[in-house]
Amino acid sequence: MLLELGIQNFILIDDLHLSFSPGLSVITGETGAGKSILLDAIRIALGAPASKDNLRHPEEKGSFEMVLEDEEEILSVLREVFPSGKSLSRLQGVVTTLPQIRSSLAPMLDIYAQKEDSLLLHPSSQRDVLDHFSSEKTQPILEKISSAKEKDDQIHEELKEWRRRAGQDLSALSFEYEELKRLRLDPEADALIEQEFTELKNLEGALKSLQRAIDASSSEGLFELESALEELGEEYAGLRERSESIRIELEDISQSLQAQMTKLEEIPYRAQQIEERYSELFAAKRKYRLEIDQLFHRQQELASLLEEQASIESTIEGLEKEREQNYKQYLRLSQELSDVRKESFVGLRDQMLPLLEQIQLKGVKLDVEFTPRRDNKVHVKGDDHLEMIVSINQGALKPFSQVLSGGELSRFMLALKAVFGRDDSTRTMIFDEIDAGISGKTAYEVGKLLKKLSQKKQIIAITHQPQIVSFADHHYHIIKEGNKTQVHMLDQEEHLRRLALMLSPELTDTASKHAAQMIRQAREDL
């Protein structure tokens, strides 16, 4: 329930603070006095776009504050709009985001304005109404359909990519693969070929150097040293052991040098083979601008791509079958959803028709047409295209847009809000000129319905109709003084006086008596 509303520096308002109570509250005032500004301020507090151009004093910030109560706690929200156009929101005094504000508070208020009448004209909105009416049944099905939609989109993208690949000209890649394949690439062996080619160019000098190294690693002199040290006795045993260790290490080095010498001496016999292989590798490296290991990996990539290309048709066929199965499952879910919606419509119609009768829309017939799309596409709201049709005064059943006037559409919306207001968790319902296009007995019945709704909900109605005002528990009157708007909460005497002035251009005894009679009748008629 809305407890308090505070507005500062907004259009025609300098500083305004209002307190609200349970029951039916009405807001009246002349056209242009600023009644809808209150509604705009509530929307801004809840996260609607706010423009710095609407700041009454452009150099100062504007603030929009609401205090609401639910079953568990009292919530406070404050939104400040700065001269720069930026805004800051606080929930329970803590800075937060607009999405958090909306998710936390928007479900507590249901706001209706005249422009929302047109929503009922759109089949998509009518479909959403039915889904909301039976949300416990429709929501699980819609979630499954949403999953089917995601799967269909994924398969569609995969098919698009595979079909793109199927249309590729891979002749150049095939030629490249065959050329690399003929090279019989072996990264380790080919790296050794490059090393041997380098050694081949420096073979003569390498052989001479190796021979010198082998000669220098001779251990013959160390044998003589060990023999002499042994003759010197145990006192030189340590030196003899060190000499022996050096000799053994030299012998190992000499053997390694001998092995390398043997290897190099074999190279001349393989020189032609090495040079031919090196030339092949060098030409491939220069052509593709890749090193040996990169050429090898490229060959593997091409092999995988060409193998994949060969299986594209079977892959596409498999995806098409998977998509077809998913579509059949979607159609089954859509039929299930359609059955729920038909049942939902009957329940909604049974509740709406008595309310429409009450607010002077008599003899209304209401039905809905379901048309399956069957266009091989998965739609997130199901395969139904539905549209409500209506008949008034024995006329033919036609779409809302072809039958209902503005006033009739407003009453349809009120009846709809009344149906949903019986069961949902919304504690406050705000109506902006729900009485548009009506008067007399019809306006009286609209006021009576709003009053009945206010027994379970807090109802705030902006109105021009005295018949609706006569049902009010609380009356706020807006006046415009110069270029500033002020709001006054009226006591019972002021309420009677304002109602009389809505009935007559002058405050007369007759008007006052008439107003008092309307208030008595409204109380007695509930």
DSSP 443-497: HHHHHHHHHHHTTTSEEEEE---HHHHTT-SEEEEEEEETTEEEEEEE-HHHHHH
DSSP 257: H
Mean pLDDT across the chain, nearest whole number?
85
Residue 328 lies in a domain: no
Band (pLDDT 50/70/90 cuts) for residue 158 is very high
Who's near 474: CB < 8 A, 6+ residues apart?
Answer: 20, 21, 23, 24, 25, 26, 489
Q: Lowest-pLDDT range, 146-150, 246-250, 392-396, 450-454?
A: 246-250
- Summarised one tens digit per residue, pLDDT across range 277-328 is 878 888 888 888 888 888 888 888 888 877 777 778 788 889 999 999 999 9
Same domain, 110 and 180: no
Q: Higher confidence at residue 239 or residue 205? A: 239
- Summarised one tens digit per residue, pLDDT across range 344-385 is 999 999 999 998 888 888 889 999 999 998 999 999 999 989
- Summarised one tens digit per residue, pLDDT across range 107-154 is 788 887 765 555 677 888 889 889 988 889 999 999 999 999 999 999
Residue 129 lies in a domain: no
Same domain, 511 and 426: yes
Q: Provide the domain limits for residue 188.
A: 173-289
Residue 203 has pLDDT above 90, yes or no: no
- Tell me which H or E stretch contains 389: strand 384-391
Residue at a domain's end among 248, 267, 289: 289
Residue 285 lies in a domain: yes
- Tell me which H or E stretch contains 366: strand 365-372
Residue 204 has pLDDT above 60, yes or no: no
Residue 462 lies in a domain: yes
Instruction: State residue 20 phi and psi, 5-degree precision.
Output: -120, 155
Same domain, 186 and 95: no
Q: What total of structural domains would you count in the chain? A: 2
Tokens encoding 487: 């709001």
Residue 207 has pLDDT above 70, yes or no: no
Q: How far, in Å, are 31, 38, 271, 310, 487 from residue 34 at the CA level?
A: 8, 7, 101, 73, 9
Residue 242 lies in a domain: yes
Residue 504 lies in a domain: yes
Give the burial class of 355: count Cβ atoms within 10 A of its Cβ; 0-12 exposed, 13-18 middle, 19 or more buried.
Answer: buried
Residue 168 lies in a domain: no
Residue at a domain's end among 257, 289, 321: 289
Same domain, 433 and 513: yes
Residue 333 has pLDDT above 90, yes or no: yes
Residue 362 lies in a domain: no
Query: Percentage of the chain with pLDDT > 90?
Result: 38
Same domain, 186 and 107: no
Residue at a domain's end among 272, 289, 306: 289
Please tell me the distance from the alpha carbon of residue 22 to that of residue 427, in angstroms, as a whole number.
10
Among 12-26, 166-180, 403-417, top mean pLDDT goes to 12-26
